[in-house]
Structure 1
Amino acid sequence: MLYRLTKIFGGPVLHLLWPTTVTGEEHVPRSGPAILASNHLSIVDSTFLPLVLPRQVRFVAKSEYFTGNPATAMWMRATGQISIDRQSPTAAQDMLDTAAQVLKDGELFGIYPEGTRSPDGRLYRGKVGVAWLALATGAPVIPVAMAGTDKVLPIGASVPKLGRVKVQIGKPLTFTGSERSARDRRRVTDEIMAAIGALSGQEYVESYTPSRNKDK
C-alpha cells in the first residue's frame, strides 16, 4: 500500500520537478520475473527507475539506510528496497539469495552490475553477480541506461538539483550456461555491460569501479 501511494503521489511530483523521458518501457514484461540491470550514476537511480515503471522494482540497499534518517528509511521501504548488511562476510551471497527469491516470486529485481556509483560518469566493468542470478534463475535480463541523475544528485551532495532525467530500457536478454562456471559468469556479465553501454553511450572502463566509492 505504501509503495502504491508513493507512486500515486510521488510520480507526478517527480515528473514536475525532474522531467523524465522513458523509452523502451514496452520491454518490461507485465508479469513474471525479470532482472533490470542498470548503470549507476546516483543514489536517486533507485528512485527514478521504480517510479517510472508500472510494476514494482525491488532493489537491495545497505542496512544503514534503514536505521539512520527516518525519512530515508521510510522512503527505502516505500520504494520496495531490501535491507542487506554489507558488513556481513556473507553479504554478497545473501544479496544474491534474496534476489533469487524475489525472482522466484515473479517480481522485478533491479541490480547495478558495477556494484557502486560511477565516480566520473564512465561505465565500469561489471561484477559477475548479475550473471550468476540470470543463469541460476533463468530470468531474462533487461539492460537499462540512466542519464542525468548524476546532475540531480551528484556524489557527495545531499540536496537534489532540478534537472532532466532520461531512462532507456533495452530488449530482454536471455543466456545459456552454468552459474557455477566462472567463464560463463564473466561472458554473460560482459554481454550485459555491452548492452548497457550501447544504450547509455558511456565510455567503458576495463576495470572495476574504484573501491573508495562505497556508498552503494
Structure 2
Amino acid sequence: MTEPLDVLRVFCGPDGRHGNELGVVRDGARTPVREDRQALAGKFGFSETVFVDDPERGVIDIYTPTLRLPFAGHPCVGAAWLLDVPELVTSAGVVTARQDGEFTWITARAEWAPPRTLRQYGTAAEVDALDVPPPGEWVYAWAWQDEAAGRVRARAFPGRADGIDEDEATGAAALLLTRELGRALNITQGRGSQLLTAPGPGGMIEMGGRVDFSPSGA
C-alpha cells in the first residue's frame, strides 16, 4: 500500500464480531487528486474508503472502489469514532456526531443517501435464504423479526457494480428504510452486524453502531 491506512469494523454486533470493514486514510493531503483517491479506493477494495482532509474539523471524502460518494453511513460512523469530533463535513452536508458508551451516533438526512431498492420479504428466514442476485440494481432485502419492537433482519446486495456481492452493513440503506417506515429500528444485517436508527425532527435521522479496529487492518 502506498498510503498509511487504518482498517475499522463499523456496526459490530453485540458480541463485538462482524461489522463492515472501512479503510481510512488519515492524511488525505498526501493524495489530493480525486483520480488518485479513486484508484487507491479501487486498490484497497473496501466497500468504502475515507480520506481525511482535516481531522480537527472532520472534513472527509468518501469513495467506493469505482465512484465518489457525497455521503455514506458506515464511513461517517467509522470516521466519527476514529476522529472523535462533534461533526463531520461531507460534500452532501454537515453530519453531527456523538459518542454514547459503546455506540457512536451520527445524524444525517436520508436524501443524502444514494438510491436503493428496498425489498420487503415475509419472514427473516426468507431473507437468510436469499442467494446473491444477478448483476443489476442495488437491493436492500429486509423483513421484520419483531415488528412491535422495531427489529429488522436485512441483507444488502450492491449489484456487483463494485465487485462486492454482499455488503455487510449499510448505513445509507438503513436511513432510507427508517424514513420509509417512520420509526426507530434495530437492524441485524449480514452475518450479524447491528445498526440502530431513530427519526428525528426536521427530517433528520440518527444512526448508531459499534466500531472497532479490524484485526486484519493495516
TM above 0.5, yes or no, is: no
Report the structure, 1 or 2, having the larger strand content: 2
With normalisation by structure 2, the TM-score equals: 0.31
With normalisation by structure 1, the TM-score equals: 0.31
Q: Which has the higher contact order (CA 8 A, sep 6+)?
A: 1
Report the structure, 1 or 2, having the larger helix content: 1
